[in-house]
Structure 1
């Protein structure tokens, strides 16, 4: 997974194996739709309906999930901190993934996010 911010977009590029498990392609998110990003400890006990995606308990959770908070995109792996990005008025209400440097990415995303400035 590669995360970049460029030309007003947060680009999350999945490698071919990640696309296979997530049953989804790359994500291109307007930064003005990002409300907040925060690192979190790994949490798997979220009641959700997977549609479509892959779930291997305590190893991998990838794809589109429907929770009490709405439609979410997950790509998390065991033992890695999660980065949670809260969205407004976009395809997903939340993105939850394990990019590696969750804390540093959250800081960069929050500094770049321009929600409400359109």
Structure 2
């Protein structure tokens, strides 16, 4: 897959590293899925449009969005905790 996302920080309302919830009621448009190996692409679920790019790596980064086409972006990579903390620091309201 090629491409990138530009996500304004004010569109992120929650970011976490939990194992993402999946549903059997998903419509893959376009995408690919080999259970236990890879899940990649755009999916329509009961939560709305989601983008997944996950592999066997179980280090997930879940980005919950508002005001955009995608409701969730789910990625897997080793630096998930570091990225989560950096983004949380940026989206936290300052006192």
What is the TM-score when the length of structure 2 is the normalising length? 0.85
Structure 1's unaligned 5+ residue stretches are 1-17, 20-24
Q: Partner of 1:75 in structure 2?
A: 53
Match of 2:11 among 22, 33, 38: 33
Instruction: Output aligned runs, 1:1-118, within 5 Å.
Output: 18-19=1-2, 25-41=3-19, 45-47=22-24, 48-113=26-91
What is the TM-score when the length of structure 1 is the normalising length? 0.70
In 2, are the aligned partners of 1:31 and 1:114 still within 8 Å (CA)? no
Residues 1-24 of structure 1, C-alpha deviations (whole Å, 9 max, x = no match): xxxxxxxxxxxxxxxxx33xxxxx
- Aligned-residue Cα RMSD (Å) equals 1.9
Structure 2's unaligned 5+ residue stretches are none
Runs of 4 or more consecutive aligned structure 1 residues displaced over 2 Å after TM superposition: 43-47
